[in-house]
Chains A and B, each alone.
With several copies, the nearest count.
Chain A
Amino acid sequence: MTLEAVTDRPADALPVARLGEPGSWGATERRDLLVLNDVTKRYPNGREALRDVDLVVPEGDFVFLVGPSGAGKSTLMKLIIRDELATSGEVILDGENLARLPRRKVPHVRRKIGTVFQDFKLLPTKTVRENVAFALEVTGTPRGRIGPAVERALRHVGLTGQAAQFPRQLSGGEQQRTAIARALVHDPRLVIADEPTGNLDPLISWEIIQLLLRINELGVTVLMATHDADVVTALRKRVVALEEGRIIRDEIGGGYHRRG
């Protein structure tokens, strides 16, 4: 359990904990986890959400995706989890071209990813605990290991007290934290977070960012769309900026706003 490793063990022990696992790489031997080649996405109504996007994300990267409302950030993320297919160009995740992936293999690819959706996408008839457990159940995790993992994830996002509530009985921020817990609980190789702190107060926001950073230190790749300029500017990570569907900036250690 990565999450356990992240918080319950001393920091220096962490890299060792993941060494034997598949998909863990030393810092020197970084593979490209995600490659977008000249991707264009045109929605059925004719709107072009992405144009000629080229993007390479090596395993273990932490990438901020920024850009104004409607720039195409969420669309890019939908392409990565194959919720939508690219109109042209290739999306290659962990060596697999998503356009050519047979239908029945799609769930396997999605299980490598932990996604925080902008609109949360919680299951309305399941409680917070069940929503988080769901991400483990789909991977076929034995029952005995699901319970503890879920409790740990809920503790990290501060929702232990709300575990038995249904999504409609939660505040906006609590729903968002449930979505975050679900995205992290199954120990994914890639975390995609679409404005994961939009409904959170600055304190909890910062805790969530810290959690993502620690997970990233363990080798998990993180792609995070955000409008939080303070966080982007402070962390000095790689920043990819979109505008009207095009990548207009891709630099390491950049701020939220254009330099010019």
Chain B
Amino acid sequence: MIGFLAFSLSRAWQGFWRNVAMSLAATATMTLMLLLLAGFFIVQNGLLAALTFVEQKVEVEADLRPTALDADVDALELRIEALPEVLEVDYVSKEEALRRFREARAAQGEEDLTRYLDSNPLHASLQVKLRDPADFGTVMDALRADPAVERVKNITDLVGRVVTVTDFLRTAGLAILAVIGAIVLFIIINTIRLAVVGRAEEIEVMRLVGASDAFIRWPFVFEGALVGLLGATLTLATIAAVADPLGAFMYDFFRVLPIRVGAIARDVSLLVLGAGLGLGVVGAWISVRTYLIR
């Protein structure tokens, strides 16, 4: 068994170099397709990160009755904070609310209407950050039930819209990734098939001399694995070489969403290596199969 493995491996190595033009063409295709796949994976991950960021902005806001006692408010705050759906609770005083309102108006370059006011018409409030914006209902109900709360701002519409958009983008991202994955799969199998077609005669001769299917198949499969590994290595090297300058450039250019390769480096490496190896092996297996069956 070990002997056969060693034999097949050495034959695979030989096969790779003796058909070097074809092997390199297949490796180049493998590399480009893996780059495409990895590029999408990275972009999709960036998108998901951005979506999570947007979702965390969804807050439930409860205005407190001006008459509510500090102790009651504190108790409420603790109770809400203990809910499993809740990430964080912030208490915003009347004065703070007015300050924030003024800031927001000023930032938008709009007129400060509050200067016409005699007293502060705003309420103190609790701002509740959620783990998942879809859970807003439970939290709203809990707040509404408390006597210290005057009213809970209705964010049903907003949440609905955010969830729709993020769901859509997640689904679409996955769908595009799946389609690209399928294309990559097909192209690579196709490429390896074309490389094997050029060696159909060789396989036929081996069979006529009495070689068993396994004897013919395994060197080819290992050769496919070699192409896959080489392609994956080149892909990862390219990504590593490009990631830093590109990240810096994008950060300079557009400060909001730098694509962070570093954070998902492990996932990308696993994806690229797994896809390269898997596709090489599967491609070779399928391609050789065609010639073994007849």
Contacts and interface: CB of A to CB of B under 8 A. Distances in A.
Contacts of A157: none
B156 interface: no
Nearest to B204: A121
A157 B293 CA distance: 35
A134 B209 contact: yes
Contacts of B202: 123-125
A111 B206 contact: no
Contacts of B3: 143
B18 A134 contact: no
Contact of A182 (B199, B201, B209, B213): B209
A97 B205 CA distance: 23
Given A124-B202, A125-B15, A137-B7, A104 B209 contact: no
B174 interface: no
B3 to A, nearest CB: 8
A96 interface: no
Interface in B185-227: 199, 201-202, 205-213, 215
Nearest to A130: B14
Nearest to B14: A125
Contact of B19 (A125, A135, A182): A125
Nearest to B294: A103
A123 B208 CA distance: 11
Given A122-B205, A123-B202, A124-B202, A104 B212 contact: yes
A197 B55 CA distance: 82
A117 B205 CA distance: 10
B212 A138 contact: yes
A241 interface: no
A99 to B, nearest CB: 16
A111 to B, nearest CB: 4
A83 B208 contact: yes
Report the interface size class on chain A. 20 to 34
B186 to A, nearest CB: 26
Nearest to B17: A125
Nearest to B3: A143
A115 B205 contact: no
Contacts of A104: 212-213
Contact of A121 (B18, B205, B211): B205
Given A104-B213, A123-B202, A124-B202, A81 B208 contact: yes
A107 B15 contact: no
Contacts of A182: 209
Contacts of A81: 208
Nearest to B7: A137
B206 A139 contact: no
Contacts of A121: 205, 208-209
A125 B205 CA distance: 12
A138 B18 contact: no
A110 interface: yes
Max chain A CB contacts within 10 Å: which of B7, B19, B199, B202? B202
Contacts of B212: 104, 107, 138
B7 A110 contact: no
Given A81-B208, A124-B201, 18 more contacts: A104-B213, A107-B211, A107-B213, A107-B215, A110-B210, A111-B210, A115-B209, A117-B208, A121-B209, A124-B202, A125-B14, A125-B18, A125-B199, A134-B209, A135-B210, A137-B215, A138-B211, A182-B209
